[in-house]
Structure 1
Amino acid sequence: MGHPMAIDWDDLKVVLAISREGTLSAAARTLGTTQPTVSRRLDALERRLDAKLFDRDANGLRLTLLGRSLVEGLEQMDAGALSVQRQIAARDTGLSGEILVTSLDWLGDEVIAPMLARFGASHPGLTIELVNDTKVYNLARREADLAFRFGSFAQENLVERRVGNAAYALYASDDYLERHGQPDAANGFEGHRLVLLDRAAGEVPHESWLPALAHRARTVLHANGLRAHLAAVRGGAAMAVLPCFIAGGDCALRRVTVPHPMPVRAVRVGFHVDMRDTPRIRALVDFVVEAFSQVQGRLAPGNDATTADA
């Protein structure tokens, strides 16, 4: 009787990544390698098995019947391995090790980064990494330890905590208002210009009220980042909805009064339930909660706010 076939776990991870991503190039990015390497490892594994795990077509790769059966077992193995990793990480007893934090756009750059820097300065045994990205990191897969987001988290088995509110308002430059005057909601902001988020973003809670109120204003730019909005407003080209934390401290900008409550977005931090009692995670969350309380007046100034996403 022959020996059972030995299969490298790294080859199985390639199969799992391809099944999740759908293409060799996307799987390669996930695995941190190259497309030719992924293709070569898949071909070698299929030769050893003497069977096809994927069918190739114009849209990418689709699992064969054998491939689907194999991936079901791999998903269970991967989930078990990740659970073990989280349990090991959760047994840490000191404020040392690494913490990967994710956030997005201005929230990470302007609010979270200074907080993490102060926390890291007080705990030399920690290495803290902040990644600002619109990608939703999977905390169950330990793609990150902590995530800061607007609104609620959709992932399961997470602990989430509301740490603050971020208010937005309509802003314009002094130069713009001198040339165009104050916008009038009675005539739908006729004669005025706006910068809005890119259309791929869909309906964004802090901006969704503006098109109806300013239905006669002309949108001169769709842009997906705060810096583009700020630059257009500072340059006097248009008005835009901006976070009060940023625009409120800019002496060149003026908040435009509109007959609409100031939209507020809830800021939450989330982490996997297995990491709940990990000292470094617990200490950082407690620190951030206190830090948010100190800047809340700048994040959501005034009392004319309405929560856009609870």
Structure 2
Amino acid sequence: MNRSPSPDDLLILLTVARLGRFTAVAEALETTHTTVSRRIAALDRQLDGRTLDRTSTGWELTDLGHHALRAAESIESSLTELKSAVSQRGEEVSGVVRVHASDAFGAYIAAPAIARLQQEHPRLKVELLSATRRASRNRSGVDLEVVAGRVEDSRAEVMVLTRYFLRLFASPAYLHDAGEPATLTDLARHRFVSYVDSELQVAELDYRSSGLPVPAAAFQATSIFAQLQAVRAGGGIGMLPSYVVHQDPGFVPVLADDFERGITYSAVARTESLRSPGVKAVVEALLTETRGRRKALRS
């Protein structure tokens, strides 16, 4: 080793370990991809070795990188303690946390939970990215994912947040015009609102895997919010998250005694990401929110 590694460079390595991509790190730190690359190269020179290896899914730590990461985490912890002492407001949580969540969870659960967390920690910035997909294999560019359905990734930390239910709903106007199905078999004669088959990654959200009959006609959308509005407007019967619509008079339960589908929401993250005070605070906020709304989520 030619000289002691720069603490700033070590903290950049820490962020790369959590986000996996230089572009995501540059955005989080409000700098450039070139600067991130240059600082990592400088750190490698200081340590006489490579701290990162490029893979098909992003940057991964080498053995030397893991040793450097522990030093970076110690620096981060010391800075957090210093900020806390200076502010005299208890533990200060700051920085940027990037969260990827499914549409419904992001809007109805994550957004209010994060807003309350930021009232307590105003220096914490959270970026919420929304789309319905399965857990990523590499989680490049995000600190935390919240996904619906089964998670199969031995390299990730998986925390179960809550269970919720999909049930069948239609608008009062649609049922008045089309009639209410008496059995699940009758659904084959009704219009159905669902996800776009070719775009859906989460099998548990697919009506085709639910045992329901193939509908006569369908409206399909990649967004759950488009599906909600289509059902509300009389577009057909939809398999919807009951916690989103159960108190809305625009949605009437259909075959409530014959069909329901339970699905789990899980938080998924790299081990390195969960060492961040900001990420830990977001996970705890999501857990608190889901516990407080357990009755509605399981309605």
**What TM-score range do you get, normalising by the shorter chain?**
0.5 to 0.7
In the TM superposition, what is the alpha-carbon distance from 1:206 to its structure 2 partner? 3.7
Matched residue type, 1:92 = E
Answer yes or no: is the 8 Å Cα contact 1:90–1:277 preserved in 2: no
Find the residue that maps to 1:199 and give its secondary structure.
Answer: coil
Counterpart CA distance in 1 for 2:178 and 2:212 is 17
Counterpart CA distance in 2 for 1:280 and 1:243 is 29
Counterpart CA distance in 1 for 2:135 and 2:204 is 21
Matched residue type, 2:111 = A
Counterpart CA distance in 2 for 1:106 and 1:158 is 23
In the TM superposition, what is the alpha-carbon distance from 1:186 to its structure 2 partner? 6.5
Residue matched to 2:297: 299
Cα 1:137–1:221 shift into 2, 3 Å: closer
TM-score, with structure 2 as normaliser: 0.66
Contiguous gaps of at least 5 residues in structure 1: 1-27, 33-71, 302-310
Residue matched to 2:105: 107
Answer yes or no: is the 8 Å Cα contact 1:193–1:239 preserved in 2: yes
Deviates more, 1:147-156 or 1:123-132: 147-156
Q: Which residues of 2 match residues 254-293 of structure 1 at below 5 A?
A: 254-258=252-256, 260-293=258-291
TM-score, with structure 1 as normaliser: 0.64
Find the residue that maps to 1:205 and give its secondary structure.
Answer: helix
Q: Does 1:80 align with 2:79?
A: no
Answer yes or no: is the 8 Å Cα contact 1:185–1:214 preserved in 2: no
Q: Encode CA deviations 1:9-49: one digit per residue, 9 max, x unaligned.
A: xxxxxxxxxxxxxxxxxxx99x99xxxxxxxxxxxxxxxxx
Counterpart CA distance in 1 for 2:144 and 2:74 is 13
Residue matched to 1:65: none
Matched residue type, 1:264 = G
Counterpart CA distance in 2 for 1:73 and 1:146 is 22
Answer yes or no: is the 8 Å Cα contact 1:193–1:218 preserved in 2: yes
Find the residue that maps to 2:207 and give its secondary structure.
Answer: coil
Answer yes or no: is the 8 Å Cα contact 1:160–1:271 preserved in 2: yes
Residue matched to 2:182: 184
Cα 1:299–1:275 shift into 2, 3 Å: same
Residue matched to 2:125: 127
For 1:195, which of 193, 196, 199 is the aligned residue?
Answer: 193
Residue matched to 1:92: 76
In the TM superposition, what is the alpha-carbon distance from 1:196 to its structure 2 partner? 2.2
Contiguous gaps of at least 5 residues in structure 2: 1-22, 28-51, 81-92
RMSD, matched Cα? 3.5
Answer yes or no: is the 8 Å Cα contact 2:166–2:262 preserved in 1: yes
Residue matched to 2:207: 208
Q: Encode CA deviations 1:165-213: one digit per residue, 9 max, x unaligned.
A: 1211100111111122210227533542212221112673244368744
Give the aligned length.
Answer: 234
Matched residue type, 2:245 = A
Cα 1:146–1:203 shift into 2, 3 Å: closer
Answer yes or no: is the 8 Å Cα contact 2:168–2:259 preserved in 1: no
Answer yes or no: is the 8 Å Cα contact 2:109–2:289 preserved in 1: no
For 1:237, which of 221, 228, 235 is the aligned residue?
Answer: 235
Find the residue that maps to 2:61 and give its secondary structure.
Answer: helix
Q: Which residues of 2 match residues 16-27 of structure 1 at below 5 A?
A: none
Matched residue type, 1:117 = A
Cα 1:90–1:231 shift into 2, 3 Å: farther
Find the residue that maps to 1:163 and give its secondary structure.
Answer: strand
In the TM superposition, what is the alpha-carbon distance from 1:140 to its structure 2 partner? 5.5
